[in-house]
Amino acid sequence: LRKRRSTMATTMNRKCGCCGNEGQLKMCVQCKLVDYCGKDCQTMDWKAGHKILCSKVPKAVTNAEGKISSFTLSDYTTRNVGSFMVTEAQARRGQIMEEEGAQDMCYDAMEMTKGSTEKLLQILRALDTFPLSTEAWGMLGHYYHYEVVQTHEKNCSAEALKMYDIAILCARKLNPTWAENRSDELPDQIENRPYLRALSGRAYSLKNIGKRNEAIRQAKKIIRLNPSDNQGIHQKLCTWFLEAKDTEGCTNLLRKYSTNIDTSLAYADVLLQYLRWIKDDAVENDIKK
């Protein structure tokens, strides 16, 4: 406890990660994600599960990263699955059984209580089973981004970004044709979804830490790879274009997606026409429509 007491710094106007009280709080300096009223709340939350996020997760991440850098296919079990409804890489090298096992663990984690220690431990078990699990890394990013008590949103988003970056690295290591400069669309297969989710999570994290232009570039790449946009990133991209007052980018995007069946896009179109109007880039009939 003495060590944990010393790893706290004073903050103002936050909520305690244990009791929810506001006021003068102390931040856990080790993870920089959660605030506490003092040693009693910190100790209580540590025993309730914060020690997993604060101590066990960083160690598991470091361990998994080491295995990623030394990855060789011969260390794992593969089986031939043919070429129908599988990724290009799976058709060539076969299905990695440990990857499938980790994926099943991730599916189980998706059913667990949001933000629970049980869910976090299940994600770590998936990483231990297969350190290059794109889904597990992406879920860890999602956990930081959406499931940690958001007393330090930017710090949580920064940690999430690291996890999403590792997820993308793993996906590209396992699927060499998914390189950064890929211009072809990805086949509409469920096996591609963890990669697309990681790309989408990366875009949201970039936006949350103040890197809007990078987020826009990331979102545009996702739409290029997956025009049907199962992730729904085009809706956020519209908003980001409007925030940046990029009327041309927003106009081009709305040409691809119907505003008749999506109220958020319809509202974005209204805002777009207003921005065009004040920039003398629209006529009265456009606004009335």
- pLDDT at residue 4, as a whole number: 42
Q: What is the pTM of this model?
A: 0.88
pLDDT tens per residue across span 79-104: 998 888 788 899 899 999 999 999 99
- pLDDT at residue 196, as a whole number: 96
In one letter, which amino acid is 194?
A: P
Question: Comparing C-alpha atoms, which of 212, 278, 260 is closest to residue 239?
Answer: 212
> In the numeric block, which tokens belong to residue 154?
């930017």
Look up residue 149 and give its DSSP letter.
-
23 with 56: CB under 8 angstroms?
Answer: no
What whole-number distance in Å separates Cα of residue 95 and Cα of residue 5? 48
> In the numeric block, which tokens belong to residue 116?
């629970």
What whole-number distance in Å separates Cα of residue 269 and Cα of residue 238? 9
What whole-number distance in Å separates Cα of residue 4 and Cα of residue 2? 5
Sign of the CA dihedral with 45 first, then 48, 51, and 56 last: negative
Where does the pLDDT of residue 284 fall: very low under 50, low under 70, confident under 90, or very high at 90 and above?
Answer: low
144 with 163: CB under 8 angstroms?
Answer: yes
pLDDT tens per residue across span 48-73: 888 999 999 999 999 999 999 999 99
Q: Considering just the CA atoms, what is the radius of gyration of the chain in Å?
A: 22
CB atoms within 10 A of CB 38: 14
Q: Which residue has the tokens 């319809």?
A: 266
DSSP-derived secondary structure for 171-230: HHHH-GGG-TT--SPPPS-GGGHHHHHHHHHHHHHHHHTT-HHHHHHHHHHHHHH-TT-T
Where does the pLDDT of residue 150 fall: very low under 50, low under 70, confident under 90, or very high at 90 and above?
Answer: low
Buried b (16+ CB within 10 A) or exposed e, 47-74: eebbebbbeebeebbeebeeeeeeeeee
